[in-house]
Amino acid sequence: MSPLFRRLRFKDELEERFKLYYFTEHLPHMRISASVGLAIYCLFGILDYTLYPHIARTLLFLRYGVVTPFLLVTILYLSRGSSPWLAQFLYSLALATAGSEIGAIVIISQDPHQLYYTGFVLALMFTYAVSGLRMAYAAFAASIMSISFAAMSVTLGSFPRHVLINNLFGMVACNMVGLLAALLLERLRRKEFLYRIQLQQDQRDLQDANRRLSYISYHDKLTELKNRHAFEELFEKEWKRAQRQGYPLSLLMIDIDDFKTYNDTKGHMAGDDVLRRVGSTLQESVQRPGDMAARYGGEEFTVLLVGADTKGAAKKAEEILGSVRSLQIAHSGSSLGIVTVSIGCATIKPGQGDPPELLLQQADEALYQAKARGKNQVSTWDGRR
Instruction: Kindly tell me the burial class for residue 123, based on how many C-beta atoms sit within 10 Å of its own C-beta (0-12, 13-18, 19 or more).
Output: buried
- Residue 253 pairs in a beta bridge with 302, 344
pLDDT of 385 reads 37
Instruction: Kindly tell me the burial class for residue 130, based on how many C-beta atoms sit within 10 Å of its own C-beta (0-12, 13-18, 19 or more).
Output: middle
DSSP 93-129: HHHHHHHHHHHHHHHHHT-TT-TTHHHHHHHHHIIII
What count of other Cβ atoms lies within 10 Å of the Cβ of residue 310? 17
Question: Is this model's pTM higher than 0.75 or not?
Answer: no
Q: d(Cα 348, Cα 326) in Å, to the nearest integer?
A: 30
The ranges of the chain with pLDDT < 50 are 1-2, 5, 383-385
| Cβ neighbours for 325, distance < 8 A, ≥ 6 positions apart | 336, 338, 340, 376
Question: What domains appear along the chain, each with residue ranges and CATH number?
Answer: 3-202 (no CATH), 228-381 (3.30.70.270)
pLDDT of 373 reads 92
Q: Read off the pLDDT of residues 225-245 as tens digits, 9 standing for 90 and up.
A: 999 999 999 999 999 999 999
pLDDT of 6 reads 54
From the list 36, 34, 15, the residue with the least C-alpha distance to 26 is: 34
pLDDT of 7 reads 56
Q: Read off the pLDDT of residues 356-382 as tens digits, 9 standing for 90 and up.
A: 999 999 999 999 999 999 999 999 985
Q: d(Cα 22, Cα 17) in Å, to the nearest integer?
A: 8
pLDDT of 336 reads 86
**Do residues 128 and 138 touch, judged by C-beta distance below 8 A?**
yes
Q: Read off the pLDDT of residues 117-132 as tens digits, 9 standing for 90 and up.
A: 888 999 999 999 999 9
Residue 179: what residue type?
L
**Do residues 106 and 116 touch, judged by C-beta distance below 8 A?**
yes
Q: d(Cα 75, Cα 53) in Å, to the nearest integer?
A: 30
The β-bridge relationship of strands 292-297 and 300-306 is: antiparallel
**Do residues 302 and 253 touch, judged by C-beta distance below 8 A?**
yes
**Do residues 306 and 288 touch, judged by C-beta distance below 8 A?**
yes
From the list 91, 130, 124, the residue with the least C-alpha distance to 106 is: 124
pLDDT of 5 reads 47
Q: Read off the pLDDT of residues 143-179 as tens digits, 9 standing for 90 and up.
A: 999 999 999 988 887 778 888 888 899 999 999 999 9
pLDDT of 235 reads 92
